[in-house]
């Protein structure tokens, strides 16, 4: 592709993963990798500072679950604003807007979190702090050694952008350390003025930043400066893997020759952030307002008394764009007031504003040879109003990070990387389809009556909102069958997944969280908190009522014996010598009997393994499904749809998605599942 500059003497470094772009997607990739123990990585960003104003802010329940899994849930919860309610406002017969409906933003019961928001800059700050922290603590790998024996603090390298990429032969081994097998990039170190984000430049004194309507502002960011680089400003980096999270105008995507495919809808919207003074009653709710004649408005109540307004701009003649002069805070507030009349809204201090044209675009490929990946806005762009951008982007790399860590730690075969693009591109397509429908309905002028075929149906708009709540929450994401997901739809497989054993637990989705009681200390845990982002596979054993049902008891004993003693058991096969038995595959047992009828010692040691150098017992592995002292009954068996007289095994991936559901005594399927893609650190005679 492009060549390096001859004037400079590039220094050469080697990393496992180079991440290009330190927005939410890139930072989540680095967060996951460092959390899982991979710290020979670099993350670069062409801007010299992080984002301080504007940009994304929506956090859906699934993203909050991911933050919780990463151990940063409470610090983010401390700052964010939770959306309590969504209100519809629509014109009555006289054309005056009235509140026509209100409901919860997230459907009750789908998560312990609700849709919320916090400014992208704060999210990035939290992620960066944790990347730095985690990268300093080396973790053991599959071969018992430390992947990164030396602590190496990973921080975002700013004012650095890629200049060229050289791909190795397609047949090269990604895990090889040879120079010729590496992906080689030239990086350019920018000067302060080259790297300053548009938000700080005099040319953006009017506040427009990252608008997709007016190219001039964005070009400050998205094109490299002309002219030869100064001597010493180039370097060479060799990588096993590259993650391009460099936004809608992704350099990485372009360098690979891939494109965003899609179109615009010719609807233009403005965005305005600030603290409003208003008599509009639902300014602290999510308000969806269709006015009779003046367009639509969406109100998003934010942290620190801020409010974001999405303001539909007057429709230009098809093919034309709005007038540049219409995009000022004053004009945006004028439109806002025309939409919410007779209510009024002032915003003495505007925090940020921009405008955008609604469009939906999808990358035509998500990776090169499963070694260079693109993620986030580089793969999917759409309108911001459903708050899906930052969420979906972070979910992309949360999906990718554990797989890359598994491969780099030689725990799993390269082929698991293929699932990244397959799983995430399907979701992105669903998002695009949803956004097209929602945007059209929200930007459309309401029909005056049933006869008015020029207007959109508000009834259809309501129904679309209602039906899409689960999707918007991010908790309905359901990956299709692949090497990591067995839905029981392949009857020829020896891996016989039985969805009917946990009939409210769709295989492919992330596990629903339910409250259970810890046998050893009577404290209540959420089941999702038992599947933190520690890079381990979770075998959730639901043996049923082992107190009342002898068959359940026997099956649990047989399963324990298999896990502990059979040489084909995944714990025996994949746990490195000298490591705790729960270091790769972690068993959590949830019985439906009461804890007062049980003693910890009844359970096989494999289910409550000895841990650490002093071999103390682990006490947070056995739980019961019953009334707790302070937090009621979680009804976990009922909510998962598990019969307490039958039980089952649920295998959850490190990202909390359900891989398969098995009979308690289907030891073979359990072994076979992991055998497909996991790599045993032990000598295997047959291989």
Please list the active-site residues: 57, 302, 310, 384
Beta bridge partners of 356: 269
Minimum Å distance from CB 446 to a copy of itself?
Answer: 23
Minimum Å distance from CB 306 to a copy of itself?
Answer: 10
Question: Where do the DSSP E strands lie in 195-285?
Answer: 234-244, 260-274, 277-278
Name every residue whose Cβ is closer than 8 Å to that of residue 341 and which is 6 or more positions away in sequence.
Answer: 97, 291, 294
Phi/psi at 92 (5° precision): -85, -170
What is the b/e burial string over 92-104, where b = at least 16 CB atoms within 10 angstroms of the residue's CB? eeeeebeeeeeee
Q: Which is nearer to a copy of itself, 347 or 646 (CB)?
A: 347
Among 317, 325, 491, 630, binds a copy of itself (CB under 8 A): 630
Question: Where do the DSSP E strands lie in 519-644?
Answer: 524-526, 537-544, 585-591, 610-611, 616-617, 622-624
Q: Which is nearer to a copy of itself, 308 or 667 (CB)?
A: 308
Among 143, 180, 293, 521, binds a copy of itself (CB under 8 A): 521
Minimum Å distance from CB 71 to a copy of itself?
Answer: 8
Minimum Å distance from CB 610 to a copy of itself?
Answer: 8
Which is it for strands 86-91 and 97-103: parallel, antiparallel or unpaired?
Answer: antiparallel
74 part of the interface to a copy of itself, by CB under 8 A: yes
- Of 5-13, 269-277, 327-335, 571-579, the window that binds a copy of itself (rule: CB under 8 A) is 269-277
627 part of the interface to a copy of itself, by CB under 8 A: no
384 part of the interface to a copy of itself, by CB under 8 A: no
Minimum Å distance from CB 115 to a copy of itself?
Answer: 11
Q: How many other CB atoms are found less than 10 A from the CB of residue 384?
A: 23
The token pair that represents 493 in the structure block: 């497989």
How far, in whole angstroms, is CA 262 from its chain's centroid? 23
Minimum Å distance from CB 523 to a copy of itself?
Answer: 4
546 part of the interface to a copy of itself, by CB under 8 A: no
Q: Which is nearer to a copy of itself, 19 or 345 (CB)?
A: 345
Among 596, 633, 645, 682, binds a copy of itself (CB under 8 A): 596
Q: Which is nearer to a copy of itself, 524 or 554 (CB)?
A: 524
Q: Please, which of residues 434-493 interact with a copy of itself by CB under 8 A?
A: none
Q: Which is nearer to a copy of itself, 86 or 156 (CB)?
A: 86
Q: Which is nearer to a copy of itself, 27 or 299 (CB)?
A: 299
Q: Which is nearer to a copy of itself, 219 or 596 (CB)?
A: 596
Distance of alpha carbon 101 from alpha carbon 395, whole angstroms: 31
Among 225, 257, 314, 617, binds a copy of itself (CB under 8 A): 617
276 part of the interface to a copy of itself, by CB under 8 A: yes
Among 454, 616, 683, 684, binds a copy of itself (CB under 8 A): 616
Beta bridge partners of 280: none
- Of 28-36, 392-400, 606-614, 646-654, the window that binds a copy of itself (rule: CB under 8 A) is 606-614
Minimum Å distance from CB 561 to a copy of itself?
Answer: 20
614 part of the interface to a copy of itself, by CB under 8 A: yes
**Which long-range contacts link 143-150 to residues 24+ away (Cβ below 8 Å)?**
143/410, 143/576, 143/681, 144/576, 144/577, 144/578, 144/579, 144/681, 146/37, 147/37, 147/38, 147/39, 147/40, 147/408, 147/409, 148/37, 148/38, 148/39, 148/40
599 part of the interface to a copy of itself, by CB under 8 A: yes
Among 85, 194, 557, 675, binds a copy of itself (CB under 8 A): 85
Which sign does the torsion angle of CA 561, 566, 570, 574 carry? positive
Which sign does the torsion angle of CA 504, 506, 512, 514 carry? positive
The token pair that represents 514 in the structure block: 């339910």
Among 13, 77, 172, 254, binds a copy of itself (CB under 8 A): 77
284 part of the interface to a copy of itself, by CB under 8 A: yes
Among 7, 92, 104, 645, binds a copy of itself (CB under 8 A): 104
Minimum Å distance from CB 596 to a copy of itself?
Answer: 7
- Nearest-CA neighbor of 417 among 426, 405, 428, 427? 405
Size of the site for a copy of itself (CB under 8 A): 47
Decide if 552 contacts 655 (C-beta within 8 A): no
* DSSP conformational letter for 57: -
106 part of the interface to a copy of itself, by CB under 8 A: yes
H or E stretch at 133: helix 120-135
Helix axes 418-443, 458-472, angle to 10 degrees: 150
Among 10, 102, 316, 506, binds a copy of itself (CB under 8 A): 102
Minimum Å distance from CB 85 to a copy of itself?
Answer: 4
Decide if 270 contacts 322 (C-beta within 8 A): no
82 part of the interface to a copy of itself, by CB under 8 A: yes
Among 117, 298, 518, 563, binds a copy of itself (CB under 8 A): 518
341 part of the interface to a copy of itself, by CB under 8 A: no
342 part of the interface to a copy of itself, by CB under 8 A: no
422 part of the interface to a copy of itself, by CB under 8 A: no
Distance of alpha carbon 148 from alpha carbon 150, whole angstroms: 5
523 part of the interface to a copy of itself, by CB under 8 A: yes
Phi/psi at 461 (5° precision): -60, -50
- Of 75-83, 129-137, 216-224, 407-415, the window that binds a copy of itself (rule: CB under 8 A) is 75-83
Minimum Å distance from CB 274 to a copy of itself?
Answer: 9
Phi/psi at 358 (5° precision): -70, 130
Minimum Å distance from CB 578 to a copy of itself?
Answer: 18
Minimum Å distance from CB 627 to a copy of itself?
Answer: 11
Minimum Å distance from CB 518 to a copy of itself?
Answer: 7
Among 136, 201, 265, 283, binds a copy of itself (CB under 8 A): 283
Among 285, 444, 535, 634, binds a copy of itself (CB under 8 A): 285
Q: How many other CB atoms are found less than 10 A from the CB of residue 568?
A: 14
* Residue 31: cis peptide before it, omega within 30 degrees of 0: no
Q: Which is nearer to a copy of itself, 82 or 224 (CB)?
A: 82
Q: Which residue has the tokens 């519809």?
A: 88
Q: How many other CB atoms are found less than 10 A from the CB of residue 449?
A: 8
Q: How many other CB atoms are found less than 10 A from the CB of residue 80?
A: 20
Among 96, 151, 223, 619, binds a copy of itself (CB under 8 A): 619
Radius of gyration of the chain (CA): 27
Q: Please, which of residues 294-323 interact with a copy of itself by CB under 8 A?
A: 301, 305
Q: Please, which of residues 633-652 interact with a copy of itself by CB under 8 A?
A: none
Beta bridge partners of 82: 116
How buried is 39 (Cβ within 10 angstroms: 0-12 exposed, 13-18 middle, 19+ buried)? buried
What is the b/e burial string over 320-343, where b = at least 16 CB atoms within 10 angstroms of the residue's CB? eebeeebbbbebbbebbbebbeeb
281 part of the interface to a copy of itself, by CB under 8 A: yes
Give contact residues for a copy of itself (rule: CB under 8 A): 74-75, 77-78, 82-85, 102-104, 106, 108, 114, 275-279, 281-285, 301, 305, 348-349, 518, 520-524, 596, 599-601, 610, 612, 614-617, 619, 629-630
């Amino acid at each position: 592709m492009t060549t390096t500059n001859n004037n400079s003497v590039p220094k050469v470094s080697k990393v496992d993963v180079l991440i290009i772009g330190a927005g939410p997607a890139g930072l989540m990739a680095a967060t996951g990798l460092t959390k899982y123990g991979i710290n020979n990585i670099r993350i670069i960003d062409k801007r010299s500072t992080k984002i301080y104003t504007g940009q994304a802010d929506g956090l859906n329940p699934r993203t909050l679950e991911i933050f919780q899994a990463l151990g940063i849930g409470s610090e983010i919860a401390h700052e964010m604003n939770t959306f309590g309610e969504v209100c519809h406002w629509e014109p009555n017969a006289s054309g005056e807007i009235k509140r026509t409906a209100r409901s919860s933003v997230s459907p009750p019961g789908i998560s312990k979190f609700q849709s919320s928001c916090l400014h992208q800059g704060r999210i990035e700050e939290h992620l960066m702090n944790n990347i730095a922290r985690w990268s300093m603590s080396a973790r053991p790998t599959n071969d018992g050694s430390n992947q990164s024996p030396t602590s190496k603090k990973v921080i975002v390298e700013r004012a650095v952008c890629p200049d060229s990429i050289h791909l190795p032969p397609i047949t090269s081994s990604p895990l090889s350390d040879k120079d010729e097998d590496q992906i080689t990039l030239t990086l350019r170190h920018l000067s302060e003025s080259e790297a300053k984000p548009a938000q700080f430049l005099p040319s953006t004194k009017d506040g427009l930043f990252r608008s997709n309507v007016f190219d001039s502002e964005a070009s400050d960011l998205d094109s490299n400066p002309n002219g030869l680089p100064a001597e010493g400003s180039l370097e060479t980096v060799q990588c096993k893997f590259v993650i391009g999270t460099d936004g809608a105008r992704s350099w990485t995507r372009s360098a690979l020759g891939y494109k965003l495919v899609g179109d615009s809808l010719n609807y233009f919207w403005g965005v305005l952030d600030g603290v409003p003074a208003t008599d509009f009653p639902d300014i602290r709710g999510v308000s969806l307002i269709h006015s009779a004649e003046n367009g639509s408005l969406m109100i998003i109540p934010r942290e620190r008394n801020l409010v974001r307004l999405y303001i539909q701009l007057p429709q230009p003649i098809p093919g034309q764009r709005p007038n540049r002069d219409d995009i000022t805070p004053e004009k945006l507030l004028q439109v806002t007031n025309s939409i919410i009349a007779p209510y009024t809204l002032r915003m003495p201090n505007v925090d940020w504003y921009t405008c955008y044209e609604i469009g939906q675009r999808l990358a035509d490929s998500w990776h090169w040879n499963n070694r260079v990946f693109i993620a986030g806005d580089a793969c999917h762009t759409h309108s911001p109003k459903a708050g899906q951008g930052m969420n979906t982007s972070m979910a992309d790399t949360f999906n990718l990070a554990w797989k890359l860590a598994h491969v780099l730690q030689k725990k799993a075969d390269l082929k698991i990387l293929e699932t990244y693009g397959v799983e995430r591109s399907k979701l992105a397509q669903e998002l695009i389809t949803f956004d097209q429908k929602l945007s059209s309905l929200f930007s459309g002028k309401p029909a005056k009556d049933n006869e008015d075929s020029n207007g959109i149906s508000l009834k259809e708009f309501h129904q679309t909102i209602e039906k899409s709540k689960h999707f918007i929450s991010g908790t309905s994401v359901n990956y299709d069958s692949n090497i990591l997901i067995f839905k029981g739809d392949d009857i020829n497989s020896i891996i016989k997944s039985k969805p009917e054993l946990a009939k409210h637990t769709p295989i492919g989705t992330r596990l629903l969280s339910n409250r259970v009681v810890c046998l050893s200390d009577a404290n209540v845990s959420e089941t999702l908190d038992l599947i933190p982002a520690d890079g381990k596979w979770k075998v959730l054993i639901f043996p049923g009522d082992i107190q009342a049902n002898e068959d359940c008891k026997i099956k649990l004993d047989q399963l324990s014996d298999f896990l502990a003693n059979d040489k084909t058991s995944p714990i025996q096969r994949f746990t490195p010598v000298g490591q705790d038995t729960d270091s790769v595959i972690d068993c959590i047992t949830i019985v439906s009997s009461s804890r007062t009828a049980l003693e910890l010692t009844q359970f096989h040691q494999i289910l409550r393994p000895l841990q650490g150098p002093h071999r103390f017992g682990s006490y947070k592995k056995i739980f019961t499904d019953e009334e707790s002292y302070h937090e009621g009954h979680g009804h976990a068996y009922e909510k998962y749809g598990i019969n307490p007289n039958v039980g089952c095994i649920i295998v959850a991936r490190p990202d909390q998605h359900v891989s398969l559901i098995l009979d308690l005594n289907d030891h073979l399927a359990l072994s076979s599942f992991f055998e497909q893609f996991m790599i045993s650190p032990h000598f295997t005679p047959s291989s």
